[in-house]
């Protein structure tokens, strides 16, 4: 059976959909659920009668992300759209991590088909593990390269200084100054490449909102006129032991990226950044189950991470900006990882979210 394209979805097909183990919902053009299969009713722990007629976005914890995806599908920006998030089960009493796919239906009774699959925790763990392994290899390579470059660079700079002292013609000294200045610039880059290797954390009891407030103040100072910054905090996030300076640097790097991308091109909407905090219960992070995980997000309405960079944004020296060094995210990921956490992102034109996930306690 084909559900996208030109074949109409018939009642007969719906009976076949009832045999599937995955959740399928048919949505109308307002995003209302018009039909849900048996698997959907058991996953959501609700009857078809209570589900039909309700807005599909209300099935998801992040209703805005869903709404955004739905609009993109409805307006033909994409023919299919995948997103990951928490599904609200049992009328709000339970939550489940799922991946959802939206597909546009053409010339049919329903506008969009929504398919929902539970994400097995081990699939997520495997994905995270792969990402971390990849990063470790890259960081190791760049760190080694950095060390290799450091010594000859020092020699080069020293020789230029000696040469400068020998030169009597001040016009020639201009050249040695260029050598010294460029060597210094390269040295700074190398230092940034090598720095993440130092994993000693200076821990203190902090509230994550202190970090958010500092980032808010810094972004406001830098981009006051150009960008609206919204704060959406979950006041119930408990205090945690962390390295304030490193978390601040990580969050600021993400915040600055958002601001830079907002100011990089023509936007349909007014540039806006949301700083958001949430708490997740029982979440698997880097192969460990945590009772509480805090999620600190930066959401922007900019053009999104270039498609070609999606698999590589956290790798060192990967940049999409003409004046970028491509170290901001790899450093941020390293600092968050030193706290046992992880940075993830979702990005489509108009909505990009980078999330720092930090364990609050291990179980
Ligand atoms: N919020 C965002 N929206 C769009 N693209 C983004 C966003 N965040 C990151 N990117 C993309 O990811 C790339 C890598 O980001 P990263 O912070 O690692 O390096 P950079 O910003 O280019 O340089 P720098 O070292 O100065 O931070 C960026 O160049 C940009 O193309
Ligand atoms: Mg950056």
d(CA 356, CA 259): 17
Tell the residue number behind the tokens 């810094």, with chain if given.
218
Q: Is the minimum distance from the CB of 301 to ligand 1 under 6 angstroms?
A: no
Which residue's alpha carbon is nearest to atom 8 within ligand 1?
Answer: 257
Residue 320 CA to ligand 2 centre (angstroms): 9
321 CA: nearest ligand 1 atom: 29
Q: Do domains 11-119 and 204-362 have the same CATH topology?
A: no
Which residue's alpha carbon is nearest to atom 1 within ligand 1?
Answer: 258
Ligand nearest to the CA of 312: 1
Select from 342, 318, 355, 305 the least CA-distant residue to 127.
Answer: 342
Q: Is the minimum distance from the CB of 305 to ligand 1 under 6 angstroms?
A: yes
Q: Is the minimum distance from the CB of 353 to ligand 1 under 6 angstroms?
A: no
Q: Could you tell me the CATH superfamily of domain 11-119?
A: PAS domain (3.30.450.20)
Q: Give the per-residue pLDDT at 106.
A: 83
d(CA 84, CA 127): 13
Angle, helices 121-166 vs 328-337, to 10°: value is: 120
Select from 225, 309, 303, 305 the least CA-distant residue to 262.
Answer: 303
Residue 164 CA to ligand 1 centre (angstroms): 38
Q: Give the per-residue pLDDT at 196.
A: 57
Contact status, residue 300 vs residue 330, Cβ threshold 8 Å? no
Ligand nearest to the CA of 192: 1
Identify the three-state secondary structure at position 300: strand
Ligand nearest to the CA of 330: 1
331 CA: nearest ligand 1 atom: 18
> Which residues of the chain have a pLDDT value below 70?
1-12, 121-122, 124, 195-199, 362-363
Judging by beta carbons within 10 Å of its beta carbon (0-12, 13-18, 19+), is residue 286 exposed, middle or buried? middle
| Helices and strands of the chain, counted as H and E runs | 9, 12
Q: Is the minimum distance from the CB of 5 to ligand 1 under 6 angstroms?
A: no
CATH of 204-362, one of 2.60.40.420, 3.40.50.170, 3.90.1310.10, 3.30.565.10: 3.30.565.10
Ligand nearest to the CA of 256: 2
Q: Is the minimum distance from the CB of 300 to ligand 1 under 6 angstroms?
A: yes
Q: Give the per-residue pLDDT at 197.
A: 55
Residue to mutate, 259, 302, 313, ligand 1, most ligand atoms under 8 Å from C-beta: 313
Q: Give the per-residue pLDDT at 244.
A: 94
Q: Is the minimum distance from the CB of 333 to ligand 1 under 6 angstroms?
A: no
d(CA 102, CA 41): 18
Which residue's alpha carbon is nearest to atom 26 within ligand 1?
Answer: 324
316 CA: nearest ligand 1 atom: 18
Residue to mutate, 318, 319, 347, ligand 1, most ligand atoms under 8 Å from C-beta: 319
d(CA 94, CA 44): 9
Q: Is the minimum distance from the CB of 271 to ligand 1 under 6 angstroms?
A: no
Q: Give the per-residue pLDDT at 122.
A: 65
| pLDDT digit string, tens, across residues 324-333 | 999 999 999 9
Ligand nearest to the CA of 305: 1
The upper half-sphere exposure of residue 182, i.e. CA atoms within 13 Å in the direction of its Cβ, equals 8
Which residue's alpha carbon is nearest to atom 6 within ligand 1?
Answer: 305
**Domain residue ranges in the chain:** 11-119, 123-197, 204-362
d(CA 72, CA 59): 18
Q: Give the per-residue pLDDT at 162.
A: 92
Q: Give the per-residue pLDDT at 198.
A: 59
Residue to mutate, 320, 344, 349, ligand 1, most ligand atoms under 8 Å from C-beta: 320
Which residue's alpha carbon is nearest to atom 9 within ligand 1?
Answer: 257
Contact status, residue 295 vs residue 279, Cβ threshold 8 Å? yes
Contact status, residue 18 vs residue 41, Cβ threshold 8 Å? no
């Amino acid at each position: 059976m084909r559900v996208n394209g030109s074949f109409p979805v018939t009642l007969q097909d719906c009976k076949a959909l009832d045999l599937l183990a995955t959740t399928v919902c048919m949505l109308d053009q307002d995003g209302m659920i018009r039909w849900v299969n048996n698997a959907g009713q058991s996953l959501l722990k609700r009857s078809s009668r209570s589900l039909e007629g309700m807005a599909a976005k209300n099935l998801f914890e992040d209703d805005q992300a869903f709404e955004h995806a739905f609009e993109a599908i409805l307006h033909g920006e994409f023919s299919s759209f995948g997103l990951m998030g928490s599904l609200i089960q049992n009328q709000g009493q339970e939550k489940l991590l799922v991946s959802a796919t939206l597909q546009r239906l053409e010339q049919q009774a329903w506008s969009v088909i929504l398919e929902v699959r539970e994400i097995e925790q081990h699939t997520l763990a495997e994905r995270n593990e792969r990402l971390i392994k990849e990063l470790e290899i890259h960081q190791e390579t760049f760190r080694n390269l950095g060390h290799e470059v450091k010594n000859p660079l020092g020699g080069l700079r020293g020789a230029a200084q000696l040469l400068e002292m020998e030169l009597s013609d001040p016009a020639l000294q201009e050249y040695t100054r260029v050598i010294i200045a460029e060597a210094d610039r390269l040295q700074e880059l190398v230092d940034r490449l090598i720095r993440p290797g130092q994993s000693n954390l200076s821990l203190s009891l902090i509230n994550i909102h202190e970090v958010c407030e500092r980032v808010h103040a810094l972004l406001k100072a830098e981009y006051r006129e150009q960008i609206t910054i919204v704060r959406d905090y979950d006041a119930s996030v408990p205090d945690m032991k962390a390295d304030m300076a490193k978390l601040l640097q990580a969050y600021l790097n993400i915040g600055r990226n958002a601001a830079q991308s907002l100011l990089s091109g023509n936007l349909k909407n007014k540039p806006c950044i949301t700083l958001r905090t949430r708490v997740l219960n029982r979440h698997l992070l880097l192969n460990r189950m945590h009772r509480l995980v805090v999620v600190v997000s930066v959401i922007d309405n900019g053009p999104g991470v270039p498609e070609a960079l999606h698999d590589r944004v956290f790798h060192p020296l990967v940049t999409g900006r003409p004046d970028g060094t491509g170290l901001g995210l790899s450093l941020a990921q390293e600092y968050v990882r030193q706290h046992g956490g992880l940075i993830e992102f979702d990005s489509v034109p108009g909505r990009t979210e980078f999330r720092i996930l930090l364990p609050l306690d291990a179980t």
